[in-house]
Structure 1
């Protein structure tokens, strides 16, 4: 919802105060909202809810399979961030949006709003690994789309696929990691977050180097899509090998 609302605010702020005012304006809004979070946040544990959650049995791979998830999640961090960083600025440079490239970011937010709930429901029905593989495959398709089909429609579809998957993948991966290693879930989520952050650092740097050589972002988008898709293949390979061993 925040992504969606920010895309509505940015054009007006930018028109009135230029980009500096836009950043300051968004910071002020975030600060005001943080006050309400501070006031309303309830840290009192709900014993009944915790007990109910413990009664739910989730089928997950053994702990030794965690390495597949860690590598795949790192590749996700490396690949997804290229679209997250550059898609709006690239769309703005095309003739399709006429200074209305924030529409792309709006589509990202619109698709992201129900995404975590939808992927959580799919995980309960299909399993976490299959859902993760599907989400990463769809995301890789969305990342690569503007490189092969440059149009307003392709940017919108790419934004929708990106928004519908990037938060869902985080939800699925961290939940799966926690369920696989419940006795040390904090450490597992910490490792997943660290490898994800490393990917986020490397991705834009590599994309910038590639774009400087090719003078466009096509190679960067294709490379990012391949990285995310390779992560999905690793998850699938690990799943198949585990099933075969069983």
Structure 2
């Protein structure tokens, strides 16, 4: 993802590589490896769909809490230390998941894992992106945000290989968590070696004024919060849907692997459309493509549904996340940090509610078809909400 060449100095290459590795560990494994491990947990623990949604939501609550805590100035000057400690906590908490069978303990562990992944992501990003901005290099930023997709793809490979080694053992899910912990621990060593000492120093911008809640900003924030709800049902249950449809082990592996690969290159894929279409229309287009991908997971033949759904999901969710925040900055140019915080909070609430609702509906109906329709409808509503905003940002 990050090619070393004459235009990219060695120190900048190291910085971008550190970001990619950290994001793969903190997000791809620390946050999203629950998705490919979940089917084994549901049969091996066992967990009901409602239990699975509850544990997933606990992780998202932790992520939201971590993001809010990270917004304060307590870590100023200590960003590298906090980022490394958060990666160490991620490794320990991944391992802890293998040591229990209690739903409540799972939820507590995933709550703290969510907070740790938020700290690792935010403080690593503050270092990597400041160096990229100072150098004016877009490749470092793209490589950094490709890290979660790379981690998702790697986690799917890990789960498949462990599954083959354990020959269907009901305890294979424990080995999956241990494998993720080992990956995170190795990543910690690499990031410790590669990551710069801290962010590039910048002049203090002073205290931002309160957000002016114009109608476009309200509509965008509502859309972004509903997006958190719509994307997360597929993000949590995609591999479980493939398992319940008896699509086969190969399809289970490939659907999350493809989601990771497409997520890793998503920003590269959408970037050429931003200039001719404008940010608003690209945001809307990505939401509608993701809605189609969500529907594909339950409407197409079971042999291909998770694969196409995974590809369209991976190709859109990071792009929607990034472009939605960029639109927020344009609508609130005097208060960009506050806009980021409010939109992230709305998104966080949506993704907390999504797994609970999806798991509950699946348990009541016996399948994930109904919650998937709800998720797709939510994504379409997201797109409709921002139609009046398009002219403001194009």
TM-score relative to the length of structure 1: 0.85
- Of structures 1 and 2, the one with the larger relative CO (CA 8 A, separation 6+) is 1
Check whether the contact 1:123–1:172 (CA below 8 A) recurs between aligned residues: no
| 1:161 paired to 2:315 | no
SS at match of 2:247: coil
Which residue of 2 is the match for residue 39 of structure 1?
193
What is the aligned residue count? 229
Gaps of 5+ in 1: 48-61
| 1:21 paired to 2:172 | no
Cα distance in structure 2, aligned partners of 1:153 and 1:74: 30
Cα distance in structure 2, aligned partners of 1:147 and 1:95: 13
Q: Judging changes above 3 Å, is the alpha-carbon distance between structure 1 residues 179 and 46 closer, same or farther for their aligned structure 2 residues?
A: farther
Check whether the contact 2:280–2:389 (CA below 8 A) recurs between aligned residues: no
TM-score relative to the length of structure 2: 0.54
Check whether the contact 2:239–2:256 (CA below 8 A) recurs between aligned residues: yes
Q: Judging changes above 3 Å, is the alpha-carbon distance between structure 1 residues 219 and 150 closer, same or farther for their aligned structure 2 residues?
A: farther
Runs of 4+ in structure 1 off by over 4 angstroms are none
Cα distance in structure 2, aligned partners of 1:32 and 1:170: 28
Deviation digits for residues 153-175 of structure 1, max 9, x if unmatched?
12211110000000111111112
Which residue of 1 is the match for residue 385 of structure 2?
234
Cα distance in structure 1, aligned partners of 2:301 and 2:388: 33
Q: Judging changes above 3 Å, is the alpha-carbon distance between structure 1 residues 13 and 34 closer, same or farther for their aligned structure 2 residues?
A: same
Cα distance in structure 1, aligned partners of 2:190 and 2:326: 27
Q: Shift in Å at residue 69 of structure 1?
A: 1.2
Q: How does 1:53-72 map to 2 (within 5 A)?
A: 64=214, 65-72=216-223
Cα distance in structure 2, aligned partners of 1:154 and 1:13: 24
Check whether the contact 1:96–1:152 (CA below 8 A) recurs between aligned residues: yes
Q: How does 1:1-246 map to 2 (within 5 A)?
A: 1-16=150-165, 18-42=172-196, 43-45=198-200, 64=214, 65-98=216-249, 100-239=251-390
Check whether the contact 1:147–1:219 (CA below 8 A) recurs between aligned residues: no
Gaps of 5+ in 2: 1-149, 167-171, 203-211
Check whether the contact 1:120–1:172 (CA below 8 A) recurs between aligned residues: no
Check whether the contact 1:211–1:220 (CA below 8 A) recurs between aligned residues: yes
Q: Shift in Å at residue 106 of structure 1?
A: 0.6
Cα distance in structure 2, aligned partners of 1:179 and 1:36: 36
SS at match of 1:101: helix
